[in-house]
Structure formats: C-alpha cells, structure tokens
Structure 1
Amino acid sequence: MSVVISPSILNCDFAHLGDELAKIANADYAHVDVMDNHFVPNLALGLPVAEAAVAASPIPVDAHLMIEDPDRWAPAYAEIGCASVTFHAEAAAAPIRLARELHAQGTRVGLALRPASAIEPYIDILPEFDMILIMTVEPGFGGQSFLESMMPKVARTRAAIENAGLETWVQVDGGISRATITQAAEAGANNFVAGSAVYRADDAYTEVEELRRLAREASHSH
C-alpha cells in the first residue's frame, strides 16, 4: 500500500497561503483541519479557508472536519473541491448515509476516531469508507505529543481492513514526526498527517521527503 504524506496547514502562515502550500508541493495531500469550538475546544479554519486552499494548492486537499453535525456540513466541503473529506464517527448521526452522499459528489471519504473511540463498532461498515483516521492525539490543537497507546488500534484497524479484502487507507494524525512515523507505519498506517514537524522544519520540502522515506522503509520491513 502506498505511503501518503499529508501535511497539516494548521501551523502555516495564512496571510501567505499560496506560498505556504507551494512549500509542500511534493506531498500527496494538503490536510485542512476544520474545528467548530463545539466538537473540539478550538476554533480553526472553515469553509472559506478550505475553499481558498483548494484554489491555491498544487496538491489535492484533504479536509478533516472536527465539527458537530457533519451530516449537514460535510457535503459543502466536497462541493468546493476537497479531494477527501473526513468526518468524526462520534459526531455523525448517519455515517453510512453521509459517506454515500459524499461519494456521490466524487470525493474520497474518511471516518475519524478520537483516541477513546474503538474501531470495533465500525468494522462491519468499513467498505463504506476510503480511509479510517486514527487520531494519535486528542483532537483540537496542533503540536501535541504522539499517543503511542494508539498503535494497537492502528494494527487492529489494518487487520480488519485486510480481513475484509479492502484497500482502505489508515491515516494517523497527531504528533507525527521523524521520531514517531516509523512506529505508526509498522503498526499499519499508510497515510501520515504531520503539521508542526513539516511547517516548523527549516525546509518543508525536505521534511516531507524524509518522512516519506522513513514510512516507506518501515512499511517494506513487514
């Protein structure tokens, strides 16, 4: 399964969004974190910024909606051109219906789980999703430390996907850096969201390449 690097733009300079996105042109996706100050204790980005990112980005945009009522709001992110839209299992009233609505709009669909949420209740509906996002921090703020305790959940998710014969991606988000990406890849993740690690690096482009190399090495060692 291919390694996918998705830098989060949460730590970038929004006054120069186009330039900031150009720095990660070698990544696979630009990860846009949307927070509504209800589902998570922070307010960040939203539809206008996501739309600006889609317009300015040299790579596809992956929207992660940390919001209440994604059933109502998520389709708008597909409409503005996000290539992938991820909503939280804990917030969606009708996740299957929403996944199908998003697919009908031509976008990839991800289901996100907070650290305390188990994958097991969702195993039977895995075929409805292109990606499962296992949060490796409590969602809401950038720059938090990686929760190593999530690695068994990543491994169980990967095993369930393989047992079902699916090609579903497993994304990890939170505290991903050179120090943690190998562990996440060995556990079965193939899509890595790195925010601070990329945007606080001296050279974002080089950091993306290094993260990809480390993840590929770890994936091939299995």
Structure 2
Amino acid sequence: MAREVKIAPSILSADFARLGEEVRAVEAAGADWIHVDAMDGHFVPNLTMGPNVVSAIRPHVTTFIDVHLMIAPAEPYLGAFVNAGADLVTVHAEAGPHLHRSLQSIREAGAQAGVALNPATPVSHVEHVLDDIDLILVMTVNPGFGGQAFIPAMLEKIAAARALVGDRPIRIEADGGVSPQNAGDVVRAGADVLVAGSAIFGGDYAERIRAIRQAAG
C-alpha cells in the first residue's frame, strides 16, 4: 500500500535551550511529525529526555508527536509518555521480554504503538505482533547518538519489513543517517516515515526538509 511519505525531524539535534521555538520552526518549515528520542543511558549509551520534555513541547506542536523509547524496561513509563502528549510510542523489540504486553499498554493508554528493531535484529521479531502495531521502526544506525552514517545493509531490511507488512496499514520508519543523498533509496525500499536530525537542524530547515522530500520522490 503506497502511503504519503512523512518527514519527522528528530529534536535530539535541536537547540534544547529554545526547544519550543525549534519545534514550531520545523513545523512551519514543512515537518509532518516531530520525533522524540528518549534514551536511558542503560539500553543505549546516552541519556536524553523523558515525558516532561514531551509535555513541554506538546503545546507548541500542532502535528504528530512520534516518541521512540530507547529504554529498558519501557513498560513502567509507557503511560507517562502517552499522558504527556505522545501520539505514537515505539518500544524496542530487544528492550524486554513482554513486547506484546507493552504494545497493548500503549494502545490502551490511547496512542498508536510501534516496534523498533536494532540493525542486527531480524524483522521476524515482529511477525507475531503485526496486528498490534501501527509502525515498524528500522534503525538505520546503531541507537544512541545522532549524526551517525546510514548503514546501507538496512535497505534490504526495510524491504523485508515492507514485505512482511503486506497490505496492513503499518508504516515503516527509517531512523538514522537519512539525508537527501539516500532518501530516495530508503523510500524505494519501502519506508514511508523518514527521521532526520542533523540533516535538518544543521541548516535552513525549510530548504533541508524540501531537499529530503524531493529526494524521496
């Protein structure tokens, strides 16, 4: 099923001293979603933001807040992120033993649910929860830090995720190293949500979003 490609700037690369202004600016520049990377310094080697940041930006965001939890365990915090204003919460398949229960908890709290897969994690990990998810996030870099180079082998993985999804209304999100140089390949492989951090926040927002969108076709 062909779906409109969404551009989701990651606020991990934004200026945290003026975060409200930053999310308003990227929305005005054409962003479709706002992507929030929550990291715990345990599941990944970095410590970033929690539900309070989602709550703080919610009044400034008129579109869709896409929260990616790189935390373990995630279960105790799912409701807090939804209550803070997340429209979609994605948990890692590798972050705990009860993926299905986590997905149920997210949906019961009132948000869409996604599953993220690290580069070495096979797509088959989501095979038995396809009816419980709205999105598969394919990590196209190793999780934990912005500014990394795209891993080319992940194009094949994105294609495998798209094939597994079939006609289900599940989005495929590519997260990490996405730029105008590879956005076309990423979309042709099957992704329809493109997360970009430094590729957008490193310059003129409108110009950079437009370049990614044009490259995506």
Q: TM-score over 0.5 for the alignment?
A: yes
User: TM-score per shorter chain, which class?
Assistant: over 0.9
Match of 2:201 among 185, 196, 199: 199
Aligned equivalents of 1:59, 1:122: Cα separation in 2: 27
Gaps of 5+ in 1: 218-222
User: What CA distance in whole angstroms lies between the structure 2 residues aligned with 1:12 and 1:182?
Assistant: 24
Cα distance between partner residues in 1 of 2:113 and 2:83 = 13
Moved over 6 A (4+): none
1:74 to 67, 78, 81: 78
* Equivalent in the alignment of 2:158: 154
Alpha-carbon distance in structure 2 between the residues aligned to 1:18 and 1:167: 31
Q: Which moved more, 1:205-214 or 1:176-185?
A: 205-214
Alpha-carbon contact 1:71-1:93 (below 8 Å) kept: no
- Cα distance in 2 for residues equivalent to 1:128 and 1:172: 20
| Cross-structure match for 1:213 | 214
Q: What residue in structure 1 maps to residue 192 of structure 2?
A: 190
Q: Which moved more, 1:149-158 or 1:115-124?
A: 115-124
1:129-140 to 2 correspondences below 5 Å: 129-140=133-144
2:46 to 39, 42, 46: 42
Q: What is the aligned partner in structure 1 of residue 56 from structure 2?
A: 52
Query: Does the aligned pair in 1 maintain the 2:158–2:172 contact within 8 Å?
Result: yes
Q: Alpha-carbon deviation of 1:30?
A: 0.6
Tell me the alpha carbon deviations over residues 34-82 of structure 1, each in whole angstroms, 9 at most, x when there is no partner.
0100000011111211211222223221111000111111221111111
1:87-107: CA deviation from partner (whole Å, max 9, x where unpaired)? 100013311121122112221
In the alignment, the residues of structure 1 paired with residue 16 and residue 51 of structure 2 have an alpha-carbon distance, to the nearest angstrom, of 14
The answer as to whether partners of 1:69 and 1:92 remain within 8 angstroms in 2 is yes
Aligned residues: 213
Corresponding residue for 2:171? Answer: 169
Distance 2:108 2:125 in 1: 24
Shift of 1:195: 0.3
> Shift in Å at residue 119 of structure 1?
0.7
Contact 1:136/1:150, CA 8 A, preserved across alignment: yes
Q: Secondary structure at the match of 1:96?
A: helix
Q: Can you list the C-alpha shifts for 1:128-162, whole angstroms capped at 9, x where unaligned?
A: 10000000000000000000011111101100111
For the 8 Å contact 2:78–2:105, the answer to whether it is kept is no
CA displacement at 1:174 relative to structure 2: 0.4
CA distance in 2, matches of 1:4, 1:92: 28
Counterpart Cα distance in 2 of 1:98 and 1:75: 10
* In structure 2, distance between residues paired with 1:17 and 1:57: 11
RMSD of Structure 2 on Structure 1 (CA) = 1.1
For residues 96 and 205 of structure 2, the distance between their equivalents in structure 1, rounded to whole angstroms, comes to 34
Conserved 8 A contact 1:54-1:60: no
Q: Which residue pairs with 2:9 in the alignment?
A: 7
CA distance, structure 2, for counterparts of residue 93 and residue 75 of structure 1: 18
